[in-house]
């Protein structure tokens, strides 16, 4: 069994590419995100951890920083220039920063901007050949994986090395190299997920929750020449950047989808409440519950629509970046005739599946969204009907009260009028009907009071008889009036 740990690698280089969003996905290149400078701040922190002055003082060499008189550094992205440029170097001297760490370990750093993305390129290399078992020297204090840099899109670690002897199993050598590199890490080792060939050199892809890692062996001179070619290097960075952006946007899309499903669940409960209310009689209680439904549900529907819009935006972004990825992959194919680029094509196929899944999600969620809109509109219609019924009922009750009031007024008026008429027509009627009411001569005060009260009572009695007749007539007239209406 081959002991891969004892195989010697000539001039191994370990490169960390950290990708960070400068602009949010829905903003122009003129506006940066609130966390755009976080990548450069983390490089400074890494420099302090490694006691590396070039990294610790990175702000002095970046175009996007300016120091005031206090002195304090201020992030000023407008000073980068090249607003319309697709590729921009951000170091003032345009050359990478070179530095040493210890006696033999050397490093370099470059700061780039490609479209809306910042890229930190940190490389470590040894001036002498290293055995696989000693590769951890290229990962000082374990800072390279998982990366200690703040990169919102993600990071890729690339080991580029030339074995000094032939190997029958380069996949095994790659796995041994990864294990040696990360021996100080407490994270689970990344798994080998794909393999291929780029510019004539075997290429192996490892992935885990901690990050993305490539092992690339330089077996022939053309591999090193093509890998170091400026155009190919930029295209490779673009390809990796599109890969990380596609994964990042898809994760955002999944978050939006789960949030939409949560809103959907809440809205479905409201729909069930509405269905139950449609089976109930129109009562004040139902009116109040419908009113709450109409006031509360639109807010949920707005959130739901917001999540749908985000999913659609993410779908569009994935579609655009998948096209960009495919374009860059084709450029790589043009430069690496005969190579096996299946691992890159597999990821392109994965991004297409993400697109299709989002299309299915959007179709499903959009259909249910129209249901919620119809429910809200139906609830509003029911409130309007209940309101009309309540108004009609109120009007009927008011008419009934008016009817009773009219009868009461007519009764009182008839009673009084009947009493007055009776007194005028025959003021002796009380005595004729009740002789005992005749006032004796002379009469006492009490007899006078009884006499007059009796007269009034008799005439009011006549008025009552008249009033009864009038009420009967009025009721009949109002009844006929109501039937005609």
pLDDT at position 150: 92
pLDDT at position 1: 61
Note the pLDDT tens digit of each residue in 35-80: 999 999 999 999 999 999 999 999 999 999 998 888 899 999 989 8
pLDDT at position 388: 47
Integer Cα distance of 347 and 16 in angstroms = 20
How far is Cα of residue 366 from the mean position of the Cα atoms in its chain?
16
Note the pLDDT tens digit of each residue in 133-142: 999 999 988 8
Cβ atoms of 58 and 92 closer than 8 Å: no
Q: In angstroms, what CA-CA distances link 461 with 365, 371, 450?
A: 80, 71, 16
Angle at 294 between CA 290 and CA 297, to 5 degrees: 120
pLDDT at position 385: 45
Residue 172 bridge partners (DSSP): none
Sort 400 into a burial class: Cβ within 10 Å, 0-12 / 13-18 / 19+: exposed
Integer Cα distance of 119 and 30 in angstroms = 18
Integer Cα distance of 343 and 196 in angstroms = 6
Q: In which residue are the tokens 């579609």 written?
A: 319
Cβ atoms of 15 and 181 closer than 8 Å: no
What lies within 8 Å, CB to CB, of 382 at 6+ separation is 277, 278, 290
Q: How many CA atoms lie within 13 A of 233 on its CB side?
A: 13
What is the enclosing helix (H) or strand (E) of 128? none
pLDDT at position 349: 96
Which of 236, 297, 292 minimizes the C-alpha distance to 114? 236
| DSSP reduced 3-state for 119 | strand
Cβ atoms of 317 and 24 closer than 8 Å: no
Per-domain boundaries in the chain: 4-228, 248-395, 400-484
Integer Cα distance of 455 and 461 in angstroms = 10
Note the pLDDT tens digit of each residue in 156-176: 999 999 999 888 899 999 999
Residue 110 bridge partners (DSSP): 121
Cβ atoms of 4 and 132 closer than 8 Å: yes
Q: CATH for 248-395? A: 1.20.1050
pLDDT at position 303: 86
pLDDT at position 205: 97
Strands 8-21 and 117-126: antiparallel
DSSP 124: E
What's the pTM value of the predicted model, to 2 decimals? 0.76
Residue 417, both tokens: 């009028």
pLDDT at position 59: 95
pLDDT at position 3: 87
DSSP 481: H
Note the pLDDT tens digit of each residue in 360-411: 999 888 876 555 556 556 555 555 545 545 655 655 666 676 666 666 666 6
Which of 15, 14, 32 minimizes the C-alpha distance to 23? 32
Integer Cα distance of 359 and 316 in angstroms = 10
As a whole-number percent, the residues of the chain with pLDDT over 90 amount to 44
CA-CA-CA-CA torsion sign (61, 67, 73, 75): negative
Strands 154-163 and 211-217: parallel
Strands 73-75 and 8-21: unpaired
What lies within 8 Å, CB to CB, of 317 at 6+ separation is 25, 245, 249
Series of mean pLDDT values for 10-residue runs along the chain (485 residues)? 87 94 72 92 95 94 90 90 82 87 88 93 90 92 85 95 91 94 81 94 92 93 86 92 95 94 83 72 70 72 86 93 94 87 94 94 77 57 53 60 65 58 56 59 58 58 63 61 53
pLDDT at position 148: 85
Integer Cα distance of 257 and 253 in angstroms = 6
């Amino acid at each position: 069994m081959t002991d891969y740990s004892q195989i010697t690698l000539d001039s191994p280089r370990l490169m960390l590419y950290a990708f960070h969003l400068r602009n949010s996905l829905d903003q122009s290149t003129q506006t940066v995100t609130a966390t755009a400078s976080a990548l450069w701040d983390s490089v400074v922190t890494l420099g302090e951890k490694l006691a590396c002055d070039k990294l610790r003082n990175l702000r002095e060499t970046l175009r996007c920083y300016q120091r005031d008189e206090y002195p304090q550094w201020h992030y000023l992205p407008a000073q980068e220039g090249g607003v319309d440029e697709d590729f921009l170097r951000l170091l003032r001297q345009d050359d990478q920063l070179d530095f040493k760490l210890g006696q033999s370990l050397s490093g370099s750093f470059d700061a780039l901007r490609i479209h809306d993305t910042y890229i930190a390129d940190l490389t470590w290399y040894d001036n002498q050949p290293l055995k696989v078992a000693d590769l951890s020297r290229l990962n000082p204090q374990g800072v390279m994986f998982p990366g200690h840099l703040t990169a919102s899109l993600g990071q890729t670690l690339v080991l580029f090395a030339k074995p000094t002897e032939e190997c029958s199993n380069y996949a095994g050598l790659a796995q041994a190299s990864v294990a040696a590199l990360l021996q100080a890490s407490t994270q689970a080792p990344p798994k080998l997920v794909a393999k291929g060939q780029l510019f004539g050199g075997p290429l192996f892809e490892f992935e885990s929750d901690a990050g993305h890692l490539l092992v690339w062996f330089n077996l022939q001179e053309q591999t090193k020449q093509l890998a170091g070619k400026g155009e190919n290097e930029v295209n490779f960075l673009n390809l990796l950047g599109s890969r990380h952006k596609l994964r990042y946007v898809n994760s955002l899309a999944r978050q939006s989808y789960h949030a939409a499903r949560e809103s959907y669940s809440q809205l479905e409960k409201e729909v069930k409440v509405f269905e139950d209310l449609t089976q109930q009689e129109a009562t004040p209680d139902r009116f109040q519950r419908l009113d709450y439904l109409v006031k509360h549900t639109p807010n949920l529907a707005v959130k739901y629509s917001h999540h749908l819009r985000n999913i659609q935006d993410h779908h569009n972004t994935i579609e655009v970046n998948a096209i960009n990825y495919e374009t860059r992959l084709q450029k790589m194919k043009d430069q690496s005739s005969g190579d096996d680029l299946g691992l890159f094509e597999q990821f392109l196929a994965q991004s297409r599946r993400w697109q299709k899944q989002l299309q299915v999600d959007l179709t499903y969620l959009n259909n249910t969204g129209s249901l919620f809109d119809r429910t809200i509109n139906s609830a509003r219609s029911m409130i309007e009907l209940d309101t009309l019924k309540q108004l009609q009922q109120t009007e009927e009750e008011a008419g009934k009260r008016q009817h009773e009031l009219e009868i009461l007024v007519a009764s009182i008026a008839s009673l009084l009028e009947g009493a007055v008429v009776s007194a005028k027509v025959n003021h002796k009627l009380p005595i004729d009907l009740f002789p005992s009411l005749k006032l004796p001569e002379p009469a006492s005060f009490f007899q006078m009071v009884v006499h007059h009260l009796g007269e009034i009572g008799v005439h009011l009695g006549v008025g009552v008889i008249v009033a009864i007749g009038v009420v009967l007539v009025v009721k009949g007239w109002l009844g006929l009036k109501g039937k005609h209406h």
